[in-house]
Amino acid sequence: MRQRLAAIGLAGWPLLTFPLLGLPEGNVGGIPMIYLYLFGVWGGLIGLAAWIGERKG
Amino acid sequence: MLSGWFVALVASAYVGLLFAVARYGDARADAGRSIISGNVYALSLAVYCTSWTFYGSVGRATSGGLSFLTIYIGPTLMLLFVGVLIKMLRISKTYRITSIADFIASRYGKSQLLAGLVTVIAVIGIVPYIALQLKAVSASLAVLFGQVDAGVLPWWLDSTLLIAAALALFTVLFGTRHLDATERHEGMVAAIAFESVVKLVAFLAVGLFVTYGMFGGLADVFQRAAAVPELSRLLQLDAMQAGSWASLILLSALAIILLPRQFQIIVVENVDESHLRRAVWLFPLYLLLINIFVLPIALGGLLHFGAQSGYADTFVLTLPMAHGAEALAVLVFIGGLSAATGMVIVETIALSTMVCNDLVMPWLLRSTWINAQKRNDLSGLLIGIRRVAIILILLLGYIYFRVAGEAYALVGIGLISFAAVAQFAPVLFGGMYWKQGTRAGAVAGLVAGFVVWMYTLLLPSFAKSGWIGNGFVEHGLFGVDWLRAQSLFGLRGMDAISHSLWWSLLANFGAYVVVSLNTRPDALEAGQAERFVDVFRRAHRETDSLLWRGQASLGELVRLLERFLGPVRAAQQLGAYAAMRGVDNWQRLAVDADLVQFAEGELAGAIGSASARVMVASVTQEEDLGLEEVLDILDEATQVRAYSKELEAKQQALEVATAELREANERLRELDRMKDDFISTVTHELRTPLTSIRALSEMLHEDPRADLADRKRFLGIIVSEAERLTRLINQILDMAKLESGRAEWTTAEVDLGNVAREAMDSLGQLYRDKDVALSGEIPDSGPVVMADRDRLVQVMINLLSNAVKFVATGTGAVKVTVSTDAGMVRVSVADNGPGLTADECSVIFEKFRQGGNTMTDKPQGTGLGLPISRQIVEYFGGALWVESQPGAGANFIFTVPLPAADE
C-alpha cells in the first residue's frame, strides 16, 4: 500500500506542475479548462488514494 | 447593521461550545472510550487551514489567480508518501518524542543545543503567524460592525484581547492536562476536528451564496469575469509562474509536516497508525472542497465591488453583507473564528511544549535554585511553566499584532512562516534516512538556512514595513550589489519566497551534508542515528540495553521519576513496567540497563529527550562507551540480525529439502511395492502355463498306454503352453529393457501406411480363420515418420491381435485408419466388440491387466502387449489411448509426430 500511494504522489507532481499545466486552454461550458483540469486531476488523485487506502488488508 | 451584543453573544456561545466538545472528548478518553477515529484524525489535520486560508486565499486569488492552490496541492502529494509518515510516527512513539524540536534533538545525540535552536527558529517563525490569526479575527469584527465601534467594550479592552484570553484559557485547560507531553489531548483534538467542520461548512455556504445566489452559477461568474480584461488574466495560468508554482508546492508539502502544529497533530496526537489510511485521502478531499469556491468568490467580489476595491481578504464577509445576508455573515465570521482559534490553540500547545522542554528546562536544570530543592516534586512546576509559556506566546502574538498593524511583515507572514519551518527539512529527513548526519552538521545546516531565510525574507519584510532601512534590499549589504537581499548573487526572475527557499535550502542542505561528512559523531549520536534510521528493523530493546553500561541505584532513579512526574504517576508507571518485566513489586526491580532506559524514556515524555538524558546521567555512574565500542556493538547487533536472517533462510531451505526427501522416499516405497507386485504377478503368470505343462507331462509319463489321440492332444497343449511361456518371457524381457532404457532402437524413415498394411497382411490368416472382416483406410504412400519400423509393426500387430480376440466370430469387423492431423500421424484400430468401461480404459494399459473377466475366462493374452506398445509409442513422442464405451466397440488410437519440416 505504501508503495502504491507513493507512486500516486510521484505521478501527481508532474501532472500538477508546469509544463503540463500549460496545456489546458480555452473553456468548457463557460468554465476555464485550467480550472477543470486542476480540480479534476486533484480529485482523481484523491479518488485513487481513497481506493487504495480503504482496501482491505 | 449587526448589534455588537449579538455578535459577542454568538462568539461566546461558539467558544463555549468548543469547551463543551473538548470536555466531552476528554471525558470519553478518561473513560477509555476514545472518540478519535480515522475521520476525526483526518479532520483535525485541517488545522492546516487557518484564517490565512479562510480569508487570505480569496485575497491571493484576486492577485495571483489559481496560484493559491499550490498551498493545498503540496500537502496532498506529501501525505501520499505515507511510508515517511509511518516512520516518523514509529520513531516518535518508540522514543517518546514530544515535539519537532525534540525529534531533531533526539536524533542528533539528544542535543540541548539543537533542541533550543529549533525552538528559537520555530518561535521566531510562528509567533507572527499567531498574530496574523488575531488580526484576522479583529479585521472580521471590524467588517461585521462596519468599521464602527460597537460600543460594547470599554476603550482599554478590545475584542481581540478578549478572544486571545479565551484561547489562552482553553489551551491551558485542555492543552496541559497531562504532564507527559507525549500523551494525547483527545478533547483538544475533537474540538479542532469540530472547528474544521464549522469552517468548511461556513466557507461552502458563502461560496454557494456568491456563485449561485449572486451569480448564475460557476459558468456565469467565469464568463462575466472573462469579459473584463483585468480579470480575465486571473482565469489562466502564466507559464512565467512555473518556477514559483513548483517551489510553492514544495514549500507547502514540507510545511504540512514541519509546522509545529502539524507535527503535533499528525505525530504526537496520533492514536493509531491505521488512521493514516483515512487521512491520506480525506484530508486532501477537505482541502479540495474548501478551495473550490475561492476563485469564484474572488471574481465575484472584484465584479461586484470593482477591481480597485479595497480589501479583498474580507470578500467572504463583505459580499454577503452587501446583499443583506447578515445571518450568513455571522456564520462566516464564526467560520473565520474557528479557523483562527484552531490554529492558535494547537500552535501554542506545540510551542509551549518546545519552549518549556527545550529552552526553560535546560536553563532551569543548571540553575542553583533547582538543585537546592532536590527533594521537591517538580511536576507542578513543569505544568506551571507550560501554562505560563502558553500565555506568554499568546501575549507575544497579541503585542506583535498591535505593533505591526497593517504592516507587510504581518500580512505576508503566512509563507514566510512556511519558509522558516522548511529549514527543518534537511536535518529531519536526513536524520530519518541517513546515518552519517551528525550533530555538528545539523547545527551548521539549521544556522545557515535560518540566517539566509532571515536575510532574504524576514528582514526584507521588516524593511517593506518601514521598520528598518531597505538599503540592503535595494543596493545590497554595505552597497555590495550581489548581496541584494532579494536577488542574492544576481539571482532574478523569481518571487521573494522561491528566491529565499532556494538559497536557504541550498545553504542549509549544503552545510548539513558537508559538515556531517567532515565530523565524527560521538557515541550517543551514533547510537541514536542507528535507532532512528533502522527503527523498523530493530529489536530495539536488546541493543538499547547493550548501549548503556554503568551503575545506578533504584532509589535514585525512582526519586528522579517522582521529582518530575509526581509520586502518583511515577508509582503507576513503575508498576506497569514491573508487570511487563514479570516482577510483582517494582521495589524488587533489578537495576539494569533496561530499567535506566525505561526511566529515561519516561522522563523524555515529560521534559524532552535532551533534558532527560542530562538528568539520568546526573544520578547514575555511567561508563563512557567510546565511539569505537558503540560502533562495534551496533555492528555486532547488525551482524547478529544478518546471521539470524540467514539462519532463518537456511532453516526454511532445510524444511523444503526435508519435504522433498520425504516425498522421494514415499515414491521409492511405492516403487518398491510395485516391484514386489510385479514379481509376484510375473511368477504367477509363469506358473500357470508351467503347471499345465507339468501336469500333462506327468500324465504322459505315468500312463504309457494312453491313446494316441490323447497323447497327441496333450502334446499339442504342451507345445502351445510352452509357446505362451516363451512369449511371456520374451515380453517380460522386452518390457524390462524398455523400462530400464536399454532397449536398442534404430531410427529411420518409416512409411506408416506400409507398416499398417504389413501388419494386416501378416495377421490376415488369423482373421480369416475366425471369419472377422478386416478393412483399412490407408493412403497409398506415407505418411512418413522417423521411428523404428520393427517396433511400430510390433505395436500394430499387438493392437490387431487384441482386436481379433475380442470380436465375435462371423459378425466381427475391424477397421484400420491412418491419417495425419496437426503435425501428428494418427493410426486407429476400431473394432465392434463388447467395448470397455471407463475404468477398463485406463486399467488395460497397466501391466498384467487384461480386458474381459480374468477370474472366469481363460486369459487371452500376456497382459504386457499394451504397456509395451504404449512405451514404444511414447518413446517416439506419440501417445496411445483407447476410446470406448460398453457395447459400442473399442477404438485404439496411437499417434506419432511427423518430422518437423526442413529437418
The 10s digit of each residue's pLDDT in B620-663 is 777 666 667 767 776 776 677 778 888 889 999 999 999 999 99
Q: Assess contact for B110 and B610: CB atoms under 8 A.
A: yes
Helix B294-305 and helix B315-322: axis angle, to 10°?
60
C-alpha grid cell for residue B428? 529531519
Q: Nearest to residue B231, comparing CAs of B303, B330, B152? A: B303
Q: Which of A27, A30, A49 sits opposite B80 (nearest CB)?
A: A49
Q: Assess contact for B599 and B616: CB atoms under 8 A.
A: yes
Compute CA distances B61 → A3, B235, B501, whole Å. Answer: 35, 10, 22
Beta bridge partners of B551: B621
Angstroms from B361 CA to nearest CA on chain A? 39
Residues 6+ apart with CB under 8 A from B658: none
Q: Note the pLDDT of residue B602.
A: 84
**Angle B769-B771-B776 (CA atoms, 0-180°, nearest 5)?**
105
Q: Note the pLDDT of residue B146.
A: 65
Q: Residue for cell digits 561528512?
A: B517
Which residues of chain B register pLDDT less than 50?
148-150, 853-858, 902-903
Q: Note the pLDDT of residue B504.
A: 92
Nearest chain B residue to A5 by CA: give it: B80
Q: Note the pLDDT of residue B853.
A: 47
- Write out chain A residues lying below 8 Å of B81, CB-based: 5-6, 9
Q: Note the pLDDT of residue B903.
A: 42
- Write out chain B residues lying below 8 Å of A6, CB-based: 80-83
Q: Assess contact for B432 and B88: CB atoms under 8 A.
A: yes
Q: Note the pLDDT of residue B173.
A: 80
Alpha carbons B275 and B170: distance in angstroms, whole number: 26
C-alpha grid cell for residue B859? 486369459
Q: Assess contact for B463 and B412: CB atoms under 8 A.
A: no
Q: Note the pLDDT of residue B733.
A: 83
Q: Note the pLDDT of residue B127.
A: 87
Q: Which of A2, A31, A35 sits opposite B66 (nearest CB)?
A: A35
Q: Do A46 and B281 lie within an 8 Å CB cutoff?
A: yes
The amino acid that residue B339 corresponds to is: A
- Mutation pick from A20, A21, A41, A48 vs chain B, by most beta carbons of B within 10 Å, is A21
Single pTM value for the model? 0.70
Compute CA distances B660 → B655, B669, B671, whole Å. Answer: 9, 14, 16
The ipTM estimated for the assembled molecules is 0.95
Alpha carbons B195 and B212: distance in angstroms, whole number: 25
Residue pairs spanning A and B at CB distance below 8 A: 104
Q: Note the pLDDT of residue B650.
A: 92
- Mutation pick from B39, B80, B252, B283 vs chain A, by most beta carbons of A within 10 Å, is B80
A49 and B CB contact within 8 Å: yes
Beta bridge partners of B821: B824
Bridging pattern class, strands B773-777 and B813-821:
parallel
Alpha carbons B773 and B770: distance in angstroms, whole number: 9
Phi, psi for residue B774 in degrees, rounded to 5 = -120, 120
Q: Which of A5, A16, A34 sits opposite B280 (nearest CB)?
A: A5
Q: Note the pLDDT of residue B901.
A: 58
Q: Do A2 and B83 lie within an 8 Å CB cutoff?
A: yes
Q: Which of A19, A34, A47 sits opposite B66 (nearest CB)?
A: A34
Q: Note the pLDDT of residue B691.
A: 86
Q: Note the pLDDT of residue B509.
A: 94
Q: Do B76 and A8 lie within an 8 Å CB cutoff?
A: no
Q: Nearest to residue B609, comparing CAs of B855, B313, B357? A: B357
